[in-house]
């Protein structure tokens, strides 16, 4: 038999993920950035669906996306938008996230998107930095008001 609290928590996380994805799509359309180029879909699922894990805490969420995007941008500027460069960028981003204690698995897609699409340096600000900060703020409010859950366990 399912625990009632677990079912309510899962439903609240699912509803929050749906609201966040809807907001992300709205802002992506307004900014004329294709939704597939905005790397937060899986972050939303992780932060709202499993808020207790270390990878869902703000340091990992924000730092992981920034570190991974930076690595992707460095690689694409040095090597160009080559398939091997995308693979290298993802591998280096995983190492960099571990080294900086910002491991956030969904951020591993950032370097792939950046290299394949030959993104400019501005991509690290918008949508990456702004998006990660907005997602952290949304998750904080959602968990506080809707779920009545103490998130994050620590900010940094």
Residue 27: the pLDDT is 80
Tens-digit pLDDT profile for residues 65-110: 999 999 999 999 999 999 999 999 999 999 999 999 999 999 999 9
Q: What is the pLDDT of residue 150?
A: 87
Q: Examine the pLDDT at 1 and tell me if it is beyond 60.
A: no
Q: What is the pLDDT of residue 35?
A: 59
**pLDDT of 37:** 64
pLDDT at 32 over 80: no
- Mean pLDDT confidence for 9-35: 84
Q: What is the DSSP string of 126-153?
A: IIIIHHHHHHHHHHHHHIIIII-----S
Does residue 16 contact residue 48 with C-beta atoms inside 8 Å? yes
Please, how many CA atoms are within 13 Å of residue 109, restricted to the half-sphere of its CB? 11
Mean pLDDT of the chain: 91
Q: Based on the number of CB atoms within 10 Å of its own CB, is 41 exposed (0-12), middle (13-18) or buried (19 or more)? A: middle
pLDDT tens-place string over residues 41-69: 899 999 999 999 999 999 999 999 999 99
Contact assessment for residue 68 and residue 42, using Cβ atoms and an 8 Å cutoff: no
- Percent of all residues in the chain with a pLDDT value above 90, rounded to a whole number: 70
């Amino acid at each position: 038999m399912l625990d009632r609290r677990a079912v309510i928590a899962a439903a609240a996380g699912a509803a929050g993920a749906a609201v966040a994805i809807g907001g992300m799509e709205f802002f992506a359309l307004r900014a004329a950035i294709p939704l597939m180029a905005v790397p937060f879909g899986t972050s939303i699922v992780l932060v709202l669906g499993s808020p207790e894990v270390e990878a869902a805490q703000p340091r990992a969420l924000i730092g992981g996306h920034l570190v991974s995007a930076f690595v992707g941008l460095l690689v694409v500027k040095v090597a160009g938008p080559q398939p091997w460069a995308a693979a290298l960028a993802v591998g280096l981003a995983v190492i960099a996230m571990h080294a900086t204690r910002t491991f956030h698995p969904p951020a591993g897609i950032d370097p792939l998107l950046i290299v394949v699409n030959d993104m400019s340096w501005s991509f690290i600000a918008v949508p990456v930095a702004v998006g990660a900060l907005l997602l952290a703020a949304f998750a904080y409010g959602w968990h506080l008001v809707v779920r009545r859950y103490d998130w994050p366990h620590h900010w940094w």
